[in-house]
Each structure stands twice: as structure tokens, then as C-alpha cells.
Amino acid sequence: MKYLFYILIGFSCSQSAEVTKVFNINGMMCGHSCPMKVKESTNEIKGVKLCDVSYENSNATITFDDEVVSAKAIAKKITDFTYYKVELNDEKKTFWEKLFGN
């Protein structure tokens, strides 16, 4: 029974899914306070491990536990906190969706 407990604990720990995603951030106007504001917006999100913001590339690379928080929730939190337009870098949009929005 003791071994079963350890196996279950080990299995559950190995199932946590830490992922890294790139979020495009449109609206940053400067290279100092804007990236700090984006990073600050992720500080209170449970599950976010690391946030690296690049003003030059207009994006943020965020490492998070996707069992605790979703990429969509992170994007919404950043948008609500900063008013910047935030979307996942891997979202595929047509020309018309890019031109006119969703």
C-alpha cells in the first residue's frame, strides 16, 4: 500500500504541465515602463512562473502551469491591467481577421 501511494504521488507530480508561450502585445509605447507594467500584471496570476517582456519584439514569453491557469486567462489579465491588445503568438488568423479583428 505504501508503494502505491508513492507511485500515485510521483505520477501526479509528473503530470503537471509547465508550458512556455509567446504572447504578442500591441500598444507598448516605451521600452521601460510598458514592459514593467506587463510583467507586473502577471505577478499576481497563480501558476505563472516566469515572464520576460520584449519591447523590441512587442511580445512577452511566459512560462506557466497550464493546469492552474490558461493562456487565455493570462492574456485577459494583461489586457485588463494594461489596456494593451494581447494575443497568443501561435493563433492563426486569416488576413480578414487580422484586418478587421475577430
Task: Judge whether 30 lies within some domain.
Answer: yes
Task: Judge whether 1 lies within some domain.
Answer: no
**Residue type for position 102:** N
Q: What is the mean pLDDT of the chain?
A: 85
Task: Judge whether 75 lies within some domain.
Answer: yes
Of residues 77 and 8, more confidently modeled: 77
- pLDDT category of residue 5 using cuts at 50, 70 and 90: very low
Task: Judge whether 42 lies within some domain.
Answer: yes
CA–CA gap between residue 25 and residue 40 (Å, rounded): 14
Domain count, the chain: 1
Domain span at residue 96?
A: 17-100
Of residues 7 and 73, more confidently modeled: 73
**Does the pLDDT at position 60 exceed 90?**
yes
Q: Identify the sign of the CA torsion 61, 23, 42, 28.
A: positive
**Residue type for position 14:** S
Task: Judge whether 38 lies within some domain.
Answer: yes
- The CATH number assigned to the domain holding 56 equals 3.30.70.100
Instruction: Check if the beta carbon of residue 78 is closer than 8 Å to that of residue 94.
Output: no
pLDDT computed for residue 4 by the predictor = 46
Please write the tens of the pLDDT for every residue from 13-47.
Answer: 555 689 999 999 999 999 999 999 999 999 989 99
Task: Judge whether 6 lies within some domain.
Answer: no
**Does the pLDDT at position 53 exceed 70?**
yes
